[in-house]
Amino acid sequence: MSATPATSTPASGARHAAAERVVRVARREGIEDLALKVVAGERLSREDGARLYRADLHAVGELANYARERLHGDRAYFNVNQHVNYTNICNKLCRFCAFQRLPNQAGAYWMTPEQVEAKIRAQLASPVTEVHMVAGIHPKLDYQYYLDILKAAKRARPSIHVKAFTMVELDQIAKKAKKPLEEVLPELVAAGLGSCPGGGAEVFADRVHQESYHLKISGDEWLATARKVHQAGLKSNCTMLHGHIETIEERVDHLDRLRLLQDETRGFQTYIPLSFHPENTEMADIPGPSALDELRELAVGRLMLDNIPHIKAYWILMDVPVAQAALAYGADDVDGTVVEEKIYHEAGATTPQEVAREELVRWIRDAGRVPIERDTLYQVVWSDDPSEATLGAAAPLSG
């Protein structure tokens, strides 16, 4: 690398110094070639990805932080949201899930549209901008039900953005509608759907699909469904469920397949690595990932997914201090206030089920970042930094 950039401003000087530092640290840990690629904005290969999983964590973290700051500076995003899990009845029997119930099992429930509406009305005093609606695959719910719960959400709070239905739910909804998803999506949008969450992707590899979630759509089907969602003009998130039976190569394959679809559609907003929570699941003998594994997964995600704008450290999954540290390991988003998280708490999560907006702001500030409240599509809702007032949509990807 040259010692000084050709036209030097304080900002370009600082970027250059940061680049020199990450290359130096990477050299010490045997990944200088990867650091030079990242600094030059070159794409990392699958082989590079596998090396990131085996290299020194803190060198990988520094590199991911470099990529994160190049995109987002000191900004860290959060939102004021509310979860509604409209049913826990599910016929997919995923071995990693503690949330699912069979129809006659103790604790099984489904919400009527009126109950969904009441849940959302109950939060009217709080400045919620998003409802996150995901659930099990209840085989008896008909197509009209899904339209009705969207309408119920909008009736309760017309301004709310409804982020609902994973690719797995969308597959079920189209089957119930007896129509192609391409015809169903505009009807869901007309009823109130705003975008889709990233769940249900698990690990795309066929081996993992067969061994831990074989009744659910495959990796190929998840990607094909996401393609249709993006082609319908909707944004979605994407995830990977890590820390169970998958290998490093299967994780890299998963990330690469997300990246290839994103090259095609540009529809993914945010990648969220979901750390496996074993309690009360059929895979309870597996310990699940450590905090260090979680940091690495976020960092590798930032470095491999060079075309996905945001990386989320979902605070519910990890202790708050880990989510704070994650903001220096590639993550730029911590999710939101949540209100009544169920999926991870059934599986042993010990974090609170919700958090006040002011607490999120404090956590982010304590981590040395600038908190930005965003809406679901990353429009700025609030910031205490006056320069953010004109930020608008998500910062563009560079490199």
Task: List contacts with ligand V47 (CB under 6 A).
Answer: 96-98, 134, 166, 197-200, 202, 237, 239, 241, 272, 274, 276-277, 281, 314, 335, 343, 347
Q: For residues 276 and 250, what is the distance between their CA atoms, to the nearest angstrom?
A: 15
Q: Cβ closer to ligand V47: 45 or 247?
A: 247
- Taking the complex as a whole, the smallest distance from the CB of residue 59 to ligand V47 amounts, in Å, to 27
Residue for token pair 């319908």? 232
72 contacts: CB under 8 Å, gap ≥ 6 = 332, 395
- Taking the complex as a whole, the smallest distance from the CB of residue 314 to ligand V47 amounts, in Å, to 5
Question: Pairing relation of β-strands 161-164 and 370-374?
Answer: unpaired
Q: Cβ closer to ligand V47: 261 or 343?
A: 343
Both tokens of residue 32? 């200088």
Question: Pairing relation of β-strands 130-133 and 75-79?
Answer: unpaired
Q: Cβ closer to ligand V47: 276 or 378?
A: 276
- Taking the complex as a whole, the smallest distance from the CB of residue 157 to ligand V47 amounts, in Å, to 19
DSSP state of 142: -
Q: Tell me the residue number closest to ligand V47, measured at CB.
A: 199
Q: Cβ closer to ligand V47: 166 or 324?
A: 166
> Residue 176: which of 138, 150, 214 has the closest Cα?
138
- Taking the complex as a whole, the smallest distance from the CB of residue 320 to ligand V47 amounts, in Å, to 16
- Taking the complex as a whole, the smallest distance from the CB of residue 5 to ligand V47 amounts, in Å, to 37
- Taking the complex as a whole, the smallest distance from the CB of residue 313 to ligand V47 amounts, in Å, to 11
Q: Cβ closer to ligand V47: 145 or 276?
A: 276
Q: For residues 27 and 22, what is the distance between their CA atoms, to the nearest angstrom?
A: 8
Q: Cβ closer to ligand V47: 66 or 165?
A: 165
Q: Taking CA 67 as the corner, what is the angle to CA 66 and CA 68, rounded to the nearest 5 degrees?
A: 90
Q: Cβ closer to ligand V47: 213 or 329?
A: 213
Burial bucket for residue 115 (CB in 10 Å: 0-12, 13-18, 19+):
middle
> Residue 305: which of 247, 242, 239 has the closest Cα?
239
Secondary structure (DSSP) of 317-360? TS-HHHHHHHTTTT--EEEE--SS--HHHHTT--S-S---HHHH
Q: For residues 58 and 44, what is the distance between their CA atoms, to the nearest angstrom?
A: 18
- Taking the complex as a whole, the smallest distance from the CB of residue 288 to ligand V47 amounts, in Å, to 8
Q: Cβ closer to ligand V47: 199 or 301?
A: 199
- Rg of the chain's alpha carbons, rounded to an integer? 21
Both tokens of residue 166? 């994973």
Length of the chain: 399
- Taking the complex as a whole, the smallest distance from the CB of residue 170 to ligand V47 amounts, in Å, to 12
Q: Cβ closer to ligand V47: 192 or 197?
A: 197
- Taking the complex as a whole, the smallest distance from the CB of residue 43 to ligand V47 amounts, in Å, to 24
Measured from the Cβ of residue 350, the count of other Cβ atoms closer than 10 Å reads 9
DSSP state of 305: -
Q: Taking CA 270 as the corner, what is the angle to CA 264 and CA 273, rounded to the nearest 5 degrees?
A: 110
- Taking the complex as a whole, the smallest distance from the CB of residue 168 to ligand V47 amounts, in Å, to 7
Q: Cβ closer to ligand V47: 189 or 284?
A: 284
Beta bridge partners of 195: 163
Beta bridge partners of 372: 77, 383
